[in-house]
Amino acid sequence: MTEPLTFALAKGRLLDETLPILSALGIEPTESLTGSRKLMFETNHPEIRLLVLRATDVPPYVERGGAHLGIAGKDTLLEYGSDMLCEPVDLKLSACRLMTAMRVGATLPSTGRVRVATKYVNVARAHFAAQGRQIDPIKLYGAMELAPVVGMSDVIVDVVDTGNTLRANGLEPRDLIAHSTARLVVSRVAMKTRHALIQPLIESLNAWVDKQHAA
Ligand code: AMP
């Protein structure tokens, strides 16, 4: 028997938005994905199983064949930067903007490396390189907003939704780097080898997205 199609989902806010999509596709986990310590779940579909991963781990799992496909934010995919992944469906969920932000009224140092606090080090490096600036990256996993306030960085690169978190910490948005939404991500290999199962899922997901935006 061939291995089941393995679908990697991201924990957290994206998972809450993903479950109704799976349901719309007729894929139901056989037990609750939230509140369990398990990482792999069977579904009502004998040929499909689910993995529940950290959002940043979805691209490497899909790229390296640990999963055939997954759902990941464009922000995470830009940072991961693989040409072995394709994004056949824009799910138009979890919309946010990848931006730089600084203390209100602050300016970048005129020379030298720009100190950037972020979990998006690759994105930040490319963004500032396009402006002819090198960065001194400070890799953080949360609370980037604090770094400029305590004088640890000149700027942050983070995802922004309403901008309330920036404002609450005395920061203001500056450059828009990219818009981000959740994407279906499939490895180029699985796209070929598991086409018979993946293609109908892509079509159903595209129909689901069109229906959501038809009203
Ligand atoms: P906001 O105050 O609405 O701009 O939200 C900003 C906070 O929520 C920041 O800490 C972001 O890291 C996080 N955030 C906003 N949108 C998203 C998203 N779509 N996915 C993940 N984190 C997000």
Is the whole-model pTM more than 0.85?
Answer: yes
pLDDT at 177: 98
Q: What angle do CA 73, 74, 76 make, to 5 degrees?
A: 70
pLDDT at 204: 94
pLDDT at 1: 60
In the chain, what are the domain boundaries? Answer: 5-94+181-212, 96-178
pLDDT at 48: 96
* Cα–Cα separations (whole angstroms), residue 59 to 2, 80, 138: 23, 7, 22
Q: What is the largest CA-CA distance in the chain?
A: 62
Q: Is 43 in the pocket of ligand 1 (CB under 6 A)?
A: no
Determine the straight-line distance between the first and last CA of the chain, rounded to whole angstroms. Answer: 43
pLDDT at 14: 86
- Tell me the backbone φ, ψ of residue 105, rounded to 5 degrees: 80, -5
Torsion (CA) 32, 37, 42, 44 in degrees, nearest 10? 0
pLDDT at 35: 79
- Pick from 157, 160, 169, 174 the residue to mutate for probing ligand 1's pocket: most ligand atoms within 8 Å of its CB: 160
Residue 119: strand, helix, or coil: coil
Q: Is 110 in the pocket of ligand 1 (CB under 6 A)?
A: no
Q: Which of 17, 32, 71, 25 is nearest to 47 (CA)?
A: 25
- Give the fold, CATH level 3, of 96-178: D-Maltodextrin-Binding Protein; domain 2 (3.40.190)
CATH number of 5-94+181-212: 3.40.190.10
CB 67 within 8 A of CB 10: no
Residue 16 CA to residue 177 CA, distance in Å, equals 26
pLDDT at 79: 98
pLDDT at 82: 96
User: Distance from the CA of 45 to the center of ligand 1, in angstroms?
Assistant: 33
The list of the chain residues with pLDDT below 70 reads 1, 215
CB 74 within 8 A of CB 55: no
Residue 155: strand, helix, or coil: strand
